[in-house]
Amino acid sequence: MIFASMLHFRRSALTQRMTINTKKSASRYGLIVILLLALFISAIFFYTRNNRIHLLSENVNQLNSIESDYSQLDTCVLLLYRADNNCRLFEATGNNAYMKLFSSEIGRVSKILDTLQFRESTTTYSKNVKGLVSQKKAKMQVYLKLKQLTDSLFLINANIDTLKQRTFTKGMEITQGRFKTMVVIDTIKPKVDVKEKGLFGRIADAFSRKKGKVDTNAVLVKKEITLDTSLSSKNYNKMQIKNINTYFRNLYAANKILKDNEIGILRINSRIINEIVFLLQNFKTSELAFASQTKKSIQYDLDNTFKSIDKIYFVIFGLLFVLVAIILFNLWKIYRNESQLIDYGHRISQYAQSKSRFLANMSHEIRTPLNSVIGFSEQLSQENLSSQQKEQVEAIKTSSELLLDLVNDILDFSKYEVGKINFDKVAFAPADAINEVLNSIAIQASRKGIKLEKEISFNEGLTIIGDSLRLKQLIMNLLSNAIKFTDKGSVTLKADVIAVSKKIGTLKIQVIDTGVGIEDKDAAVIFDEFSQVNYSTTKNTQKGTGLGLAICKRIVELQKGKIGLTSVVGKGSNFTFEIPYELCDDVASKQKSLAITNVGHLAGKRILLVDDNKMNVLLAQTVIKKYNVITDTAYDGSEAFQLFTKNNYDLILTDVQMPIMGGVELTRMIRADKDTIKSKVPVLGVTANVLEEDRDRYLAAGMNDLVLKPYSEKELIAKIVSYIIA
């Protein structure tokens, strides 16, 4: 008990340190997650801030560019107006100074459009406008040339002196007589006095379209007049030329007047344009001044804003630096803690292995003498002894069994703790296992005067596949615990199999007692290792390691089952567990049960016993000779192999750990023998080592099966019969 407590204390200390480190690591992981989240949010903030600032700068620059473009477009419009006005002045006056101004202003417009085209390279508006300006300039030049030619014609024609005497060939003057008779008819009407009407009367007559009555009594007078129309051709030509000259002079004079008026209008237009330009320039200057002031104010505000943001940026950058430092520090701490956890894990693993090895060695050292004590006490109990001798032998047997139970509990818990446990998959009848446990524990119940009852609700011929030894261990622990804490009344075992499917059934076992019961606070920890409940109402001091129920819980959970407890203080407790098993045919179980009934076939068989402990050899001989079996003995593996080569044996029963040559080496030499028939002889290993990996190693060496020390007569004979008869 002291040894178990020391193991528990050391393991609890290591577990506590690992738990503390795990909690610290978990909190540090949480802190790192928060810091990384803050770092991520800060990165998003900086990225958004830079994008916003860049976008804001682009917008300000674009506004300035648009404002400049608008100003340039205004200048283009004014220049086009001026160019058009200068073109008209040149048209009217013919002064080349206006033409130079026109060309200069068109050139300035082209340069401005080139600048706009360079800025807006992705658009075609400025290209189209520039083309139109070029076309306007070319067509205006063509128009001005044509206008100059037309004016020249007018001027040349005006300078022709049609009155100047020129030398002509004097021709014959021809006079042609022409007489024309004209008839003139006159109508003579008498004068009628018409009364004058007022304004409204005339308006009324006009709308009514009434005509006043007029006296139509008129007198017609007819006259005939004869005229001489003969003219001289010379006089006629002079008259025609004079008329033409007069027409052109009048036309030139009218054109000159028109030009003078046009020049006046154009000059007035020029003054108006200049005045408008002056007003627009003043307005533009004031607007630019206001815009410049506004831009300066905006720029000032932006600069202040950016400075504030930069200050915040530096502060946040400092915080981020601190956060990064904290993250790195926590990562280092986590790395160190994980290294410590790994180191603790290695240490715990080494400790568990050392503990398992120590317990295995302790088991071997304790089980070996226990094997002799229990075996010989069993053989003595079968002799004709006095009642006093029987009591003494029974006391020896009971004490040795209690010591064996203590060792088994510690070893089993150690195996369950490290997970080094395998469950057999063999067919067995659960009813037989239950009855076997009840029969073996009935003596304890009868000693305390407790009634032991059973209620099996399923067919007792039912066979399942699983580990029957672990099931027996479960039931034995629960029944022993119930009998221990029950002073009067009964202990009842209820068993039932609930079909889950066609191949799976759940075995449900209930152990109900009428004992002292368990309080709720103790029920919460009753399945913990080394846990014992102190009862103030009972006088008996509890004995044991406090591992029984903890082992039960591990056995159930490792088989995917569940275990529970309901209890009422003063009325009793109800322990219940459920384990799923695979259902099967009951033939295999029956075949297994036939092994112990064929002991009569052992007579005359020859067995080689190998063990370095003479007490163990004597015990085995005592048990086997009862069945008329011939035995040979050897005290090490080398001696046993010499006997093997000389004789033929039906079975070899050998200890595993021996000096000179152990049982494993002996088995390998037997399996490697040249005689193939002798090399197949069954070999049973006898060992006190309960570690699963060691058992596997022994079987891998060629042993057919193992007999665990201490063994009973029944167990040993069952193993021997199963291999010799087969």
Res 536: pLDDT? 45
Res 327: pLDDT? 81
Kind of pairing, strands 463-466 and 426-428?
antiparallel
Residues 518-540 pLDDT 10s: 888 887 778 876 666 655 444 44
Query: pTM here?
Result: 0.48
Q: To the nearest whole number, what is the mean pLDDT of the chain?
A: 75
Which position has the higher pLDDT, 692 or 162? 692
Res 592: pLDDT? 45
Under 8 Å between Cβ of 463 and 424: no
Nearest alpha-carbon partner for 411 in 712, 694, 12: 694
User: Is the pLDDT confidence value at 54 over 60?
Assistant: yes
Quick one: 178 exposed, middle or buried, by C-beta within 10 A (0-12, 13-18, 19+)?
A: exposed
User: Is the pLDDT confidence value at 3 over 70?
Assistant: no
Sequence length of the chain is 726
The CATH class given to the 430-585 domain equals: alpha beta
- Tokens (6 digits) for 157: 């024609």
- The pLDDT confidence band at residue 690, using thresholds 50, 70 and 90, is low
User: Is the pLDDT confidence value at 513 over 90?
Assistant: yes
CATH architecture of the domain covering 595-724: 3-Layer(aba) Sandwich (3.40)
- The pLDDT confidence band at residue 504, using thresholds 50, 70 and 90, is very high
**Concatenated DSSP letters of 159-190:** T--TTS----------B---EEEEEEEEEE--
Res 647: pLDDT? 93
- Most confidently modeled of 46-60, 312-326, 402-416, 540-554? 312-326
Cα dihedral 568, 572, 577, 583 in deg (nearest 10): -140
Which position has the higher pLDDT, 604 or 114? 604
The neighbouring-strand residues paired with 504 are 582
| Phi, psi of 582, rounded to the nearest 5 degrees | -85, 130
- Provide the 3-class DSSP secondary structure of residue 579: strand
User: Is the pLDDT confidence value at 329 over 50?
Assistant: yes
Under 8 Å between Cβ of 574 and 598: no
Listed range (118-127, 498-507, 542-551, 669-678) with the worst mean pLDDT: 118-127
Question: Domain residues of the chain, as ranges?
Answer: 179-233, 430-585, 595-724
Give the position of tokens 């086997």.
624
Task: Assess whether the region 430-585 and the region 595-724 belong to the same CATH fold.
Answer: no
Across residues 267-277, what is the average pLDDT? 71
Which position has the higher pLDDT, 142 or 248? 248
User: Is the pLDDT confidence value at 25 over 90?
Assistant: no
- The pLDDT confidence band at residue 181, using thresholds 50, 70 and 90, is low
Listed range (214-218, 257-261, 524-528, 717-721) with the worst mean pLDDT: 214-218
Res 683: pLDDT? 95
User: Is the pLDDT confidence value at 709 over 50?
Assistant: yes
Which position has the higher pLDDT, 467 or 8? 467
The Cα–Cα gap between 422 and 692 comes to 7
* Residues contacting 72, CB < 8 A, separation 6+: 112, 115, 116
User: Is the pLDDT confidence value at 126 over 50?
Assistant: no
Across residues 573-588, what is the average pLDDT? 84
Which position has the higher pLDDT, 521 or 359? 521
| Phi, psi of 535, rounded to the nearest 5 degrees | -110, 120
The Cα–Cα gap between 673 and 680 comes to 9
User: Is the pLDDT confidence value at 165 over 50?
Assistant: no
User: Is the pLDDT confidence value at 266 over 70?
Assistant: no
Give the position of tokens 């807006």.
120
The CA distances from residue 266 to 86, 87, 269, 457, in Å, are 8, 10, 5, 129
Res 539: pLDDT? 46
Res 109: pLDDT? 74
- Tokens (6 digits) for 687: 């060992």
Residues 646-666 pLDDT 10s: 999 999 999 998 888 999 999
Give the position of tokens 């070319």.
138
Res 1: pLDDT? 43
User: Is the pLDDT confidence value at 218 over 60?
Assistant: no
CA 377, chain centre distance (Å): 69
Res 146: pLDDT? 55
User: Is the pLDDT confidence value at 80 over 90?
Assistant: no
Res 685: pLDDT? 93
User: Is the pLDDT confidence value at 717 over 80?
Assistant: yes
The Cα–Cα gap between 277 and 275 comes to 5
Percentage of residues in the chain with pLDDT exceeding 70? 66
Res 479: pLDDT? 92
Listed range (179-183, 509-513, 538-542) with the worst mean pLDDT: 538-542
Which position has the higher pLDDT, 639 or 406? 639
Nearest alpha-carbon partner for 415 in 526, 555, 528: 555
Res 339: pLDDT? 84
Residues 220-232 pLDDT 10s: 666 666 655 555 5
Across residues 597-603, what is the average pLDDT? 71
